[in-house]
Structures are given as structure tokens and as C-alpha cells.
């Protein structure tokens, strides 16, 4: 137990870094995922095709591949980073966006087709129908799966620890090395700090879901 108390500064620093990674990647993924979903239902065939291909490829390959791509392949193509965090954020948001896109798409499908017809019949263009009528309703219905994805994102950010990013899990590895006799407690500490992010996230989701639910 003592190891947790003694290492609180490291834990706290790791906690903040994980929070930062997850928050930035989460926001980027939400925006990119929603755009991908919009592309998937757009009248332009090329956009639909791109979105579908992206989601299929990214969703069906391991996260580690995304990390390798961002941390190893991109620099070789001339895209270099000062910090590994940037590569981690690229990998995490690119990966998570595919899942967000699928969740949003299922939400779009759950909005009755009459809503879009009514919007079109008063003269709205495709972009307006989507942004004013369909997405606001779709996003409300997909809050629970969306939060699941974000919780997975928080946990997935631990992969960054294997790519020289010092976040919660990275610190955990270090501490485990330094305190070989108390590995179990080190990991309990790591788990506790992950829970500190993910449990409130689930609670928040529940509150938001109750607040924005729409009756039909």
C-alpha cells in the first residue's frame, strides 16, 4: 500500500497526462466520427465510399497498428513530431473516430425518415436537414454507446505507454520496475486512477442521457 502513497506525485502526473490524451483524442474523434457518419449518409457516392472504407479498415485492425503507423510510418513519410504525445493523439483519435462514426450512423438510422421528409418539404438543403434535424436527434439516442466508446478510449490510451509516452500506464510500468516487491499494489494504484476517469464518465453519461431524452 505504501508504494501508492509514496508515489502519489507520479500517479497524479500520469493521471493528468492520461486525462489529457483521452480528452484531446476524444474531442477530435467525436468531431471526425460525426463528419464520417455525415459522409456515410451523404448523397455524394465518393464520400459514402471513403467513409465506409475508412470505418471498415480502421475498425477491424488492432489499435497497436494505428500506433505503429502514427509513431513509425508517418515520420518515415516526412511527418515528424517533437513529442510522441502527438503521434499518440493521432493514433487514438483516428482509431476511435471509426467507432464513433458507426455509433452516430446507427443513431441517424434510428431517426424516423418522416423527420427528414418534413425538413426537406419546408425547403431545407441536405446540410441543414442533417445538422438541424437529424444529427441533434441521432446524437441524443447514441449517448450510451458513445460513452462506452469513450471509456474504451481512456483505457486504450494505455497503449501509448508502450510508445514512450509517459502517461498513467507508462508510470505504472516504471513504478513496477522500481518496486519489484509491490507490483500488485502498483497496479492497484494504476487501476484506481483509471477508475477515477471512467466511473465518473459513466455517471455523467447517465445524467446527460436522462436530460436530453426526447419523447416521441
Question: Would you tell me which residues interact with other proteins (CB under 8 A)?
Answer: 43, 112, 114-115, 117-125, 128, 132-133, 136-137, 140, 214-216
CB of 163 to other proteins, least distance (A): 42
Q: Closer to other proteins by CB, 79 or 132: give it.
A: 132
CB of 109 to other proteins, least distance (A): 15
Alpha-carbon gap, residue 63 to 130, rounded angstroms:
31
Cell numbers of 76, please?
518515415
Alpha-carbon gap, residue 167 to 156, rounded angstroms:
12
Q: Closer to other proteins by CB, 115 or 174: give it.
A: 115
3-state secondary structure the chain: CHHHHHCHHHHHHHHHHHHHHHHHHHHHHHHHHHHHHHHHCCCCHHHHHHHHHHHHHHHCCCHHHHHHHHHHHHHHCCCCCCCHHHHHHHHHHHHHHHHHHHHHHHHHHHCCHHHHHHHHHCCCCHHHHHHHHHHHHHHHHCHHHHHHHHHHHHHHHHHHHHHCCCCHHHHHHHHHHHCHHHHHHHHHHHHHHHHHHHHHHHHHHHHHHHHHCCCC
Q: Closer to other proteins by CB, 61 or 110: give it.
A: 110
Q: Closer to other proteins by CB, 71 or 119: give it.
A: 119
CB of 44 to other proteins, least distance (A): 11
Q: Closer to other proteins by CB, 66 or 119: give it.
A: 119
CB of 128 to other proteins, least distance (A): 6
CB of 216 to other proteins, least distance (A): 6
CB of 48 to other proteins, least distance (A): 15
Q: Closer to other proteins by CB, 133 or 196: give it.
A: 133
Amino acid at each position: 500500500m505504501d508504494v501508492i502513497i509514496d508515489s502519489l506525485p507520479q500517479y497524479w502526473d500520469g493521471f493528468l497526462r492520461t486525462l489529457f490524451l483521452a480528452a484531446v483524442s476524444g474531442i477530435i474523434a467525436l468531431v471526425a466520427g460525426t463528419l464520417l457518419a455525415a459522409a456515410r449518409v451523404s448523397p455524394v457516392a465518393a464520400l459514402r465510399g471513403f467513409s465506409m472504407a475508412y470505418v471498415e479498415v480502421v475498425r477491424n485492425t488492432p489499435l497497436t497498428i494505428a500506433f505503429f503507423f502514427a509513431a513509425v510510418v508517418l515520420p518515415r513519410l516526412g511527418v515528424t513530431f517533437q513529442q510522441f504525445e502527438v503521434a499518440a493523439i493521432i493514433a487514438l483519435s483516428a482509431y476511435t473516430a471509426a467507432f464513433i462514426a458507426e455509433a452516430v450512423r446507427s443513431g441517424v438510422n434510428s431517426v424516423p425518415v418522416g423527420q427528414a421528409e418534413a425538413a426537406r418539404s419546408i425547403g431545407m438543403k441536405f446540410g441543414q436537414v442533417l445538422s438541424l434535424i437529424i444529427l441533434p436527434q441521432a446524437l441524443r439516442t447514441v449517448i450510451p454507446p458513445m460513452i462506452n466508446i469513450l471509456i474504451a478510449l481512456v483505457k486504450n490510451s494505455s497503449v501509448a505507454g508502450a510508445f514512450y509516452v509517459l502517461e498513467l500506464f507508462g508510470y505504472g510500468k516504471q513504478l513496477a520496475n522500481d518496486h519489484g516487491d509491490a507490483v500488485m499494489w502498483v497496479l492497484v494504484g494504476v487501476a484506481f486512477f483509471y477508475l477515477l476517469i471512467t466511473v465518473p464518465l459513466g455517471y455523467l453519461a447517465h445524467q446527460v442521457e436522462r436530460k436530453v431524452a426526447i419523447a416521441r
